[in-house]
């Protein structure tokens, strides 16, 4: 009897499980048969109510029970303003609107839970950035997710200036902590990065924005405090390898001031003033404790081989200063640039020889047989002939009457060596000119050549 009773109980449990599973599948799948075409206007209206994004649907809307109950909109356009005259921010064939079963069966479509956009393109013009920022700061909405998308950033001429593949964007408000989060994971300029922006509704005038770049590993931490739309202050900290950069940012009525608060502790210091309308800037960037080779191989090469589209309508003057250089001869220097009409123009340069004098240079950039080269026309003003004699190991009496030395130098990018030519000593340039070409590999080479020229 006990076995029969146990078998009945087991059968009953199995039957209940089958009924439960079948009922669940029925409840989940039955809405597939509903007609959603007549509900398009309600869905579009409540989509904006939930996500503060305008939805324009022109394709099929269907119900999908798995992995979570949702509506699939197969031809959708999304925008931040209620007009189709302006080009849409997103056109997608894969828009999912997650919804509760209660809302499905009531057919009210008034309680959307979240939305997800997959495998789509975001076409953003520079003029769209203000609308995106307003949505970020001012709108209260339900969770928005984008997966495996691409961002196309366009200039005023509708030309694509940046393409950024995006693995995931998550945009939501935590109702418990009252914090709004914008998480982004993607690729920019070939670098993998993660970005997290957050703002607490308890302290609405304060925002935090952290960015992490990978390979090379760079961490950027930003904090901004807003008084109103015309005045805000911020602090930015950048950590790269052993370098730490820190900047204070002040914005006041279309003017931006950027300063380095701890100049003694940081190796990249900035002192810049920017006017936004019309755009113009003047800035000093001081770089400390780098090898002299990096001035040409990294910094100047980046400036001379820039993409004009990234410069855009920037206009202004930039002075790059070098201090405490890791070089036996050159300890500091400065180079002036002017940026105008998508061109970066070199103006002048100075390099300070330790206790000896100053080299004034004109720098140009050329491409020769697939090699990138810097050409320098130089004038060395000797201020201390005794220190010059010590450095180059020559008799001080041979150099004491020499006040100026003129020479040309050529530096190929990636090559540690330097070529020196057209050396002219003093003011009598015809008499004291050397037509030899000298290949400088190290300070010993240079001393040997200097002695040969002076003697």
Length of the chain: 455
Domain ranges of the chain: 29-174, 355-454
Q: Is the pTM of this model over 0.85?
A: no
Q: What is the pLDDT of residues 368-427, one digit of tens each?
A: 777 888 889 999 999 999 999 899 888 888 888 889 999 999 988 878 788 999 888 875
* pLDDT number for residue 12: 53
What is the sign of the dihedral through the CA atoms of 182, 187, 191 and 192?
Answer: positive
The CA-atom distances, in angstroms, between 103 and each of 41, 209, 409 are 16, 36, 76
Q: What is the pLDDT of residues 99-158, one digit of tens each?
A: 887 777 677 888 899 999 999 999 998 888 888 989 988 899 999 999 999 999 988 888
453 versus 377: the higher-pLDDT residue is: 377
4 versus 322: the higher-pLDDT residue is: 322
Secondary structure element (H or E) that encloses residue 386, with its range? helix 385-392
| pLDDT of 24 above 50 | no
Half-sphere exposure of 363 (CA within 13 A, CB side): 24
| Cβ-proximal residues to 112 (8 Å cutoff; 6+ apart), any chain | 46, 47, 50, 51, 97, 98, 99, 103, 142
Q: What is the pLDDT of residues 37-73, one digit of tens each?
A: 778 889 999 999 999 999 999 888 888 877 888 889 9
């Amino acid at each position: 009897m006990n076995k029969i009773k146990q078998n009945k109980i087991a059968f009953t449990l199995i039957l209940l499980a089958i009924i439960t599973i079948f009922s669940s599948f029925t409840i989940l799948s039955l809405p597939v048969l509903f007609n959603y075409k007549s509900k398009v206007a309600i869905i579009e209206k409540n989509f904006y109510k939930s996500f503060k994004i305008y939805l324009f649907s022109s394709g099929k809307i269907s119900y999908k029970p798995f992995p979570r109950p949702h509506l699939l909109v197969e031809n959708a356009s999304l925008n931040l303003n209620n007009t189709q005259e302006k080009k849409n921010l997103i056109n997608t064939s894969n828009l999912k609107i997650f919804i509760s079963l209660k809302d499905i069966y009531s057919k009210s479509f008034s309680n959307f839970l979240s939305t997800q956009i997959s495998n789509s393109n975001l076409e953003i013009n520079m003029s769209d950035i203000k609308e995106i920022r307003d949505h970020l700061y001012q709108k209260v909405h339900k969770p928005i997710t984008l997966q495996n998308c691409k961002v196309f950033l366009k200039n005023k001429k509708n030309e694509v200036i940046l393409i950024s593949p995006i693995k995931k964007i998550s945009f939501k408000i935590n109702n418990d902590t009252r914090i709004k989060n914008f998480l982004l994971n993607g690729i920019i300029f070939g670098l993998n990065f993660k970005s997290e922006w957050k703002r607490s509704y308890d302290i609405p005038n304060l925002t935090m924005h952290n960015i992490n770049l990978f390979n090379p590993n760079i961490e950027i931490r930003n904090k901004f405090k807003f008084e109103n739309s015309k005045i805000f202050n911020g602090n930015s900290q950048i950590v790269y390898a052993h370098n730490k950069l820190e900047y204070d940012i002040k914005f006041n009525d279309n003017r931006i001031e950027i300063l380095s608060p701890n100049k003694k502790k940081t190796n990249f210091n900035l002192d810049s003033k920017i006017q936004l309308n019309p755009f113009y800037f003047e800035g000093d960037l001081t770089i400390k404790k780098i090898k002299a080779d990096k001035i040409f191989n990294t910094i100047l090469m980046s400036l001379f081989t820039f993409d004009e589209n990234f410069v855009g309508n920037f206009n202004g003057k930039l002075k790059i200063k070098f201090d405490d250089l890791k070089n036996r001869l050159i300890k500091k220097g400065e180079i002036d640039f002017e940026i105008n009409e998508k061109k970066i123009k070199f103006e002048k340069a100075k390099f300070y020889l330790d206790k000896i004098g100053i080299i004034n240079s004109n720098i140009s950039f050329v491409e020769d047989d697939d090699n990138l080269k810097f050409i320098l026309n130089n004038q060395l003003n000797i201020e201390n002939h005794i220190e010059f004699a010590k450095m180059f190991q020559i008799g001080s009496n041979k150099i004491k009457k020499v006040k100026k030395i003129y020479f040309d130098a050529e530096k190929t990018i990636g090559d540690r060596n330097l070529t020196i030519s057209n050396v002219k000593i003093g003011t009598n340039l015809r008499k004291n000119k050397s037509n030899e070409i000298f290949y400088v590999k190290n300070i010993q080479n240079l001393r040997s050549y200097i002695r040969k020229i002076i003697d």
